[in-house]
A and B are shown apart, each in its own frame.
Chain A
Amino acid sequence: MFNKKKLGTVALALGTTLALTATSAWAKTTLTVASFPSFDQAVNSAIPLYKKLHPEVEIKLVSLAYGDHHNAMTTALATGGNLPDVMGIEYGYIGRFAASGGLEDLRAAPYSAEQYEKLFSKFTIPLATGGSGTLAAMPADIGPGALFYREDILEKAGVTHAELTKDWDSYIAAGKKIKEATGSYLVSSATDIKDIVIRSGLKDGQGIYFDADNTITVESDRFKEAFRLAKAVREAGIDAQVGAWSSEWTEGLRRGTIASQMMGAWLGGHLNGWIAPDSKGLWRSSQLPAGAYASWGGSFYAIPKKAKNKEAAWEFIKFMTMNKEMQIAAFRDLDAFPALVEAQNDDFVNQPIEYLGGQVARVQWKEAADRIPAMDVHKHDPVAEQIINDALEAVLERDADIDTVLADAAKQIKRRARR
């Protein structure tokens, strides 16, 4: 009996192997995946694992620089040619791509992804939702906002962590103390403060610049407060006035002349990897000041309507987004915070991070991820962002009146978002 059963298993295994070799011999599917650095690394490390499960599928990864990739995808969608089977999309483009109608609706059959939606951080799904309730993409990773700061600089200035994060006024006061005691700037740019404040306090379904009913919201208190605080930071002389990712910025973080930086949790990986590996153990992470929760980026996978191997593409996307092991691997290697709740609850999250002085920071990021509101994205967000950045420059550089520039900005946005 036992032997028979075993025999059966062996036969079954043999049969499956044969069947698999047969399919691989007869119909080898080549799945094209288009992605961008460093999101493409997740695909790269997934290929050998995926091939064990699906030896019949050959995966071809096409990777371009961030901007080039999204431009290429825009052109591909426009012309319907050269489309990949699986398309990686970054946060900044998901709204426009989701609204375009060029991507498969994953809520419809045969995907029926609605059943999986509850598996992900709740704010990710609305980002990928187009008009009329279609779901254009599946979330892979997210960027819960965190405040990274230099513990040693705070100590030197006698500033406590609570002072730094209690509210914005105490944050600015702490910055002044740090500047006085150590000469370090608190933030890289006053614009950073604006970016967080306009994103905080949003309700589910509200957009940053546009409400659910397309009204422009840049004249609201949220923006006035954001501009006021940014100006206060500039006047206090606690911002280094450098843009993120510039050489001054990386050098500032490396040399400790910039004492803190608010960004997605993935900044920890960048700090450790190449920005400031020498200050290992000196950095810490905390929630954003004043109880703000915001999201910095995130990546998605979608299937274009004109893709050739939709079935295989969907299998692959499910593997990339819903396989816990895969998500944790990306989390460990790239600090890409998983969108999959199951992966967020894994014991891995409770492990201390050596770079952050043994802090158990991932728990904190998870808490932030839970509280990020389901923000609505609008196709004119990039236009509005440019206009608001210009308006803030006018306030910071030329001392323009906040109410006036915001009223102008609203008019500008209305004019440019004319369709």
Chain B
Amino acid sequence: MSSVESAVRPPVVKIRKRTLKQRLNASGYKWAPYLFVSPFFVIFAVFGLFPLLFSLFLSFHYWEPAAGLGAMEWVGIENFTFTLTDGWFQTSVYNTIWIALAAGIPQHVVAIPLAYFLHTSFKRSRNTVVGMYFLPFITSSVAISLVFTTLFSRDFGMINMLFTSAGNWTVGDIQPLAWLFPTANIDWNRPEYTKTMIAFVVFWRYVGWNTVLYLSAMQTIPKDLYEAATVDGAKRWQQFWYITVPMLKPMMFFAVTLTIIGNLQLFEEPFIITGGTGGIEQAGKTAAMHMYITAFVEGDFGTASAISWILFALIAFLTWGNNKLLGEKK
């Protein structure tokens, strides 16, 4: 009986009778993963992709922002040609690269030996020491800049006090350190010192970050390499030079890339230190600050967008160069 019925009834009917839940089950929730990852794409579209495309669109326009969205005026590539031929932009790029090199190179030159030292010399208290080095990185850059502005203050700053007290230190009638240290207070806001001051603050802030990066990379280097080297009679510096440094190369590539990107986007530190103006003769004005001033002081958002895209191209180019230099050879 049942066999006859099943032969007569086509199975299609049975499928139709399925509940919604069953049907969803049958489709295997194929859409579910998309739903679960969608928050990222929605947020990225709103806060990432849209501003990105909008700034590209804006870079070909002149726009008086306070007049509303309708006030955009197509100017073609004029914003780009203006920026590339603009002396202020060139100065700001020069300043940025100067600071990036002056702050970036010492960061790595100090961070690698420092990480090696932490790796080999500290056993139990290593994490505490690493935490201390890491602290500047997680502190607010505004707070750091304000503290350093006070320290570098011309008349009441601690740094000048230390320098001049060393310079004016007298033994009998002579000042033995006067050739090395200044005898009068240095005005760190003068154009010839501004960049040095900013580079120092940036160096101080990120050296700990790089140390942590290198330290973590060192911890992945197999111990037997060092053991074998010790057996072969390699000294400690030889182990550092011939094992640690080559093994760190991938991390170097990563850390240098981060430094390049970070330093070329440098904004908060020079902004606070120079009081938002870029300093005397714009000596401390970085490209990111130039972009900000163009947008918010001069009210020219189109040119500011063009600057940001030129900056993007510059960063992309330098990262590519870094890749050629330190990246994996294929």
Contacts and interface: CB of A to CB of B under 8 A. Distances in A.
B65 A248 contact: no
Nearest to B282: A390
B82 A397 contact: no
A102 B298 contact: no
A123 to B, nearest CB: 23
Interface stretch (A21-29, A74-82, A265-273): A74-82
A48 interface: no
Interface in B66-104: 66-69, 71, 82
B65 A77 contact: yes
Interface string B38-71: 0000000000000000000000001111111101
**Which of B64, B66, B156 gathers the greatest number of chain A CB atoms within 10 Å?**
B66
Given A251-B155, A393-B280, A393-B281, A100 B298 contact: no
Interface in B113-158: 149-150, 153-156
Interface residues of B, number: 32
A100 B70 CA distance: 11
B276 A74 contact: no
B193 interface: no
Given A74-B299, A251-B156, A382-B298, A397 B67 contact: no
A122 to B, nearest CB: 26
Contacts of A382: 297-299
Contacts of A115: none
A97 B280 contact: no
A248 B68 CA distance: 41
Nearest to B67: A100
B62 A397 contact: no
A77 B71 CA distance: 11
A97 B66 contact: yes
A80 B68 CA distance: 7
A4 interface: no
Given A247-B150, A390-B281, A393-B280, A74 B296 contact: yes
B68 A96 contact: no
Contacts of B150: 247
A394 interface: yes
Interface in B277-294: 277, 280-282, 293
A80 B69 contact: yes
* Dominant secondary structure of chain A at its interface with chain B: helix
A93 to B, nearest CB: 9
Contacts of A418: 82
A182 to B, nearest CB: 17
Given A74-B65, A77-B66, A243 B282 contact: no
A105 to B, nearest CB: 14
A74 B154 CA distance: 36
A77 B64 CA distance: 10
Given A71-B296, A248-B153, A78 B282 contact: no
Contacts of B149: 247
A189 to B, nearest CB: 11
B275 interface: yes
B298 A243 contact: no
A77 B189 CA distance: 36
Nearest to A78: B65
Interface in A383-397: 383, 386, 389-390, 393-394, 397
Contact of B153 (A75, A247, A397): A247
B67 A247 contact: no
B267 to A, nearest CB: 14
B245 to A, nearest CB: 44
A246 B275 contact: yes
A67 interface: yes
Nearest to B281: A393
A96 B66 contact: yes
A166 interface: no
Contacts of B167: none
A75 B296 CA distance: 10
A79 B67 CA distance: 9
Contact of B66 (A100, A245, A386, A389): A100
Contact of B191 (A241, A251, A383, A397): A397
Interface residues of A, number: 37
Interface string B152-175: 011110000000000000000000
A403 B190 CA distance: 24
A77 B68 CA distance: 6
Contact of B67 (A101, A248, A251): A101
A242 B154 contact: yes
Contact of B276 (A67, A100, A241, A247): A67
Nearest to B63: A78
A280 interface: no
Nearest to B300: A419
Contacts of B297: 382-383, 386
Contacts of B69: 78-80
Contacts of B227: none
Nearest to B276: A67
B158 to A, nearest CB: 12
A416 interface: yes
Contacts of B281: 390, 393-394, 397
A324 interface: no
Contacts of B301: 78
Nearest to A243: B275
Given A80-B69, A242-B154, A100 B82 contact: no
A102 B154 contact: no
Contacts of B282: 390
Contacts of A310: none
A241 B187 contact: yes
A73 B299 CA distance: 12
Nearest to A394: B281
A33 B277 CA distance: 29
A379 interface: yes
A78 B66 contact: yes
A393 B154 CA distance: 18
A100 B65 CA distance: 8
Contacts of A386: 277, 293, 297
Interface in B254-313: 275-277, 280-282, 293, 296-299, 301
B66 A416 contact: no
Given A99-B64, A101-B68, A382-B298, 16 more contacts: A73-B66, A78-B63, A78-B65, A78-B68, A80-B68, A100-B68, A102-B67, A243-B275, A247-B150, A247-B153, A248-B156, A379-B64, A386-B297, A393-B280, A416-B298, A419-B62
11 contacts: A67-B296, A77-B66, A77-B67, A78-B69, A100-B65, A242-B155, A251-B156, A379-B299, A382-B297, A397-B280, A416-B298
Please give me the 9 A-B residue pairs with the lowest Cβ-Cβ distance, nearest first.
Answer: A100-B66, A78-B65, A77-B66, A100-B67, A382-B297, A102-B66, A101-B67, A383-B298, A248-B155
